[in-house]
Chains A and B, each alone.
Chain A
Amino acid sequence: ETGVTQTPRHLVMGMTNKKSLKCEQHLGHNAMYWYKQSAKKPLELMFVYNFKEQTENNSVPSRFSPECPNSSHLFLHLHTLQPEDSALYLCASSPEGGNTEAFFGQGTRLTVV
């Protein structure tokens, strides 16, 4: 248990569906991150929130939409995804921004059909 909880753990969705991934951290951290992990590729940083403000958006397609209502919760809203978006989506938090030591959740395994 890392103190970072992601739900759901697995998700299968059609290309026309809308779904959301949820992340919650119980560590009192101020920064939260979304990462995408595909097979045989480096971890891709998608979004960074620092004190609830989005500080990084690494050219992520608009079909991925993050939301950070408070420093403990982070969502990733998904709509009209493509099969190549199938991957493990990892949430992480760190005490502060600046990419310090990150604590990862267990991830959501997403399959787009």
Chain B
Amino acid sequence: GQQVMQIPQYQHVQEGEDFTTYCNSSTTLSNIQWYKQRPGGHPVFLIQLVKSGEVKKQKRLTFQFGEAKKNSSLHITATQTTDVGTYFCAGLMDSNYQLIWGAGTKLIIKP
């Protein structure tokens, strides 16, 4: 079936280091959405990318949508403790407008 693969599953970083999570779809996406879920919380919408090659920034967060609209990435520069949580991508399939979620990448700050 249709899948959105998200890697890595976990990423341990020192505070101040960068973090990146990647999502790849086997089929073309109409758009891709990114969400953040804090520990014990619920997913919170961050951004939606629609255009091929689109890049959007929110302070230290940079979101990219690939040229083929099959992959996307979220990069956080100089992580802070407030960035801790699980980051999910969700891709809207071009073929049937189903929203397929990635498994999430958990950002862990090393003590």
Q: DSSP class of A's interface residues: helix, strand, loop or mixed? A: loop
Are A106 and B42 interface neighbours, CB within 8 A?
yes
Within A76-111, the residues touching B (CB, 8 Å) are 90, 92, 98-107
C-alpha gap A92/B45 in the complex (Å): 11
- Interface digits, B92-109 against A, CB 8 Å rule (1 contact, 0 not)? 100001111111100000
For the A-B complex, the count of residue pairs with Cβ-Cβ distances under 8 Å equals 48
B73 in the interface (beta carbon within 8 A): no
Are A107 and B104 interface neighbours, CB within 8 A?
no
A43 in the interface (beta carbon within 8 A): yes
A45 in the interface (beta carbon within 8 A): yes
Q: Residues of A contacting B48 with CB < 8 Å?
A: 100-101
Interface size class of A (residues with CB under 8 A): 20 to 34
Q: Residues of A contacting B42 with CB < 8 Å?
A: 2, 90, 104-107
C-alpha gap A99/B98 in the complex (Å): 7
Are A103 and B102 interface neighbours, CB within 8 A?
no
Q: Residues of A contacting B99 with CB < 8 Å?
A: 45, 99
Show 27 residue pairs from A and B whose CB-CB distance is below 8 angstroms, ordered by the A residue: A2-B44, A42-B4, A42-B88, A42-B101, A42-B102, A42-B104, A43-B90, A43-B101, A45-B98, A45-B99, A45-B101, A90-B43, A92-B43, A98-B92, A98-B97, A99-B98, A99-B99, A100-B48, A101-B33, A101-B48, A102-B33, A102-B35, A102-B43, A104-B42, A104-B44, A105-B42, A107-B42
